[in-house]
Amino acid sequence: MENFIRIEDLTRAEMLRFFELARDMEIMREMGSDLCKGRILGAMFYEPSTRTRLSFESAMFRLGGNVLGFADPNSTSFAKKETLADTIHMLCNYADVLVIRHFWAGAARLAALHSTVPVINAGDNANQHPTQTLTDLYTLWKARENLSGMTVGVCGDLRFGRAAHSLVYGLAAFDVNIVLIAPEGLELPEEEMWRLDQQYGAKVSRARHPGHVIEDLDALYVNRLQKERLPDDLDAEEIQRIASQYRIDAALIARAKPTCLALHPLPRVDELARELDDDPRAVYFEQSSNGVPVRMALLALALGRAPSNPFEPKKTEAQTHAAPVCRSKTCVSAHEPDVPALTETVGLATLRRVCHFCGRFV
């Protein structure tokens, strides 16, 4: 594996082979392993994280490797205005694989451009969170084996939730019936909607409230309101009021199928009632635990130490433009100097151009 930046780069067959590898890692997690002995993970966390950072660190320790990094960018030369490109040039002298979480969309893609070691995206603003998606799909696969034909509700803040943005592509790759359940103003962005339709031919329906569809679902994936990403022109109080109507509680889950799984990338705030924790269908803590074998598999692959390679070589055709073309304010190209103006073509019958970094239409 070279870099792992976004979930669309993986096919269903690759993900299925990857799940087998992750399952093998569960044994190494218990027994201990020297698979990545002598190797160093650089964990670069520019945004808050509990599960993602610590499960990556745990994964590296379980594989016999070492970890360095930071969880607060203000303790690094970022506070002295060092560019991301320069920081990456340094870090790849100190580590053999980099895991980066950043508050600019496309930062992991840019990091990969400058890095001489593999880069793994641990979440870039509201763009993607592909290692979370592998964890989510692995959780469903372990429970159900065959994801195809399942009906999965993806509920909550679908506009700013990066976990949801990568999840929908992952579900589409498995021919899952996707039910998007979002309050007004927090719907899935047009790029994701368009690509689900044009690139995946996905079966997508929409609902305004989980109560309208709960009986139909084989799994319900809940997302919190991403308060920290609400733009200034949105009325945060009004959005919070609307989002609070999306609380998933025991009364709602009582109406669900006896086999309907409840997932959440965590952290939860108040969208998921604690009374659900003891329900065997609530698998969100197991899901966060699954992040360890999934990230063990990703690190072993990135370091060329995995016993098998589920992934085919990747080729991304990006087109260079003379002047910047991305208009997104959260894109790395709007903040970092000298980012090359790159776009990519997406779609099948109809084609559109998107920013190579943040994936938004240009």
List residues with catalytic annotation. 51-52, 81, 101, 129
> Quick one: 102 or 224, whose CB is closer to ligand NCD?
224
Q: How many CB atoms lie within 10 A of CB 82?
A: 13
Q: Does 163 bind ligand NCD (CB under 6 A)?
A: yes
On the CB side of 306, how many CA atoms lie within 13 Å of its CA? 26
Rank residues 156 and 310 by Cβ distance to ligand NCD and give the closer one.
156
Q: What is the 3-state secondary structure (H, E, C) of 229-281?
A: HCCCCCCHHHHHHHHHHHCECHHHHCCCCCCCEEECCCCCCCCECHHHCCCCC
**133 near ligand NCD, judged by CB under 6 A:** no
* 159 contributes a contact to ligand NCD by CB under 6 A: no
- Work out the angle at residue 238's Cα, subtended by the Cα atoms of residues 233 and 239, and round it to the nearest 5 degrees: 75
According to the binding rule CB under 6 A, does residue 229 interact with ligand NCD? no
Alpha helices in 39-83 (DSSP H): 51-62
Q: Does 52 bind ligand NCD (CB under 6 A)?
A: yes
Contact status: 170 vs ligand NCD (CB under 6 A): no
- Selected from 6, 39, 162, 195, the binder of ligand NCD by CB under 6 A is 162
| Residue 29, helix vs strand vs coil | helix
Name the minimum Å distance from CB 88 to ligand NCD: 21
Q: Is the peptide bond before 267 cis (omega within 30 degrees of 0)?
A: yes
CB atoms under 10 Å from CB of 2, counted, come to: 14
User: Minimum Å distance from CB 78 to ligand NCD?
Assistant: 19
Which of 165, 224, 295, 335 is in the footprint of ligand NCD by CB under 6 A? 224
Residue 129 is a binding residue for ligand NCD (CB under 6 A): yes
- The minimum distance between CB 346 and ligand NCD, in angstroms, equals 23
- Among residues 118 and 130, whose Cβ is nearest to ligand NCD? 130
- Applying CB under 6 A, among 266, 318, 325, 334 the residue interacting with ligand NCD is 266
If the CB atoms of residues 62 and 162 are measured against ligand NCD, the closer one turns out to be 162
**Residue 132 touching ligand NCD (CB under 6 A):** yes
Looking at the Cβ atoms of 163 and 188, the one nearer to ligand NCD is 163
Residue 130, interface with ligand NCD (CB under 6 A)?
A: no
Whether residue 132 contacts residue 163, with contact meaning beta carbons closer than 8 Å, is answered with yes
Give the phi and the psi of residue 85 in degrees, each rounded to 5. -60, -45
Burial of residue 209 (number of CB atoms within 10 Å: 0-12, 13-18, 19+): middle
CB 119 within 8 A of CB 5: yes
Q: Which residue's entry shows tokens 């044994």?
A: 27
Least distance (Å) between residue 268 CB and ligand NCD: 8
Give the residue nearest to ligand NCD (CB): 265
SS3 173: helix
Across the strands, what pairs with 179?
153, 205
Minimum distance of ligand NCD from residue 222's CB (angstroms): 10
Closest distance to ligand NCD from the beta carbon of 302 (Å): 19
Report d(CA 332, CA 324) in Å as an integer.
Answer: 12
Residue 51 interacts with ligand NCD (CB under 6 A): yes or no: yes
User: Looking at this protein, which amino acid is placed at residue 249?
Assistant: D
Which of 163, 301 has the CB closer to ligand NCD? 163
When asked if residue 127 is in the footprint of ligand NCD (CB under 6 A), the reply is no
CB contact at 8 A, 330 and 105: yes
- Contact positions toward ligand NCD, by CB under 6 A? 51-52, 123, 129, 132, 162-163, 224, 265-266
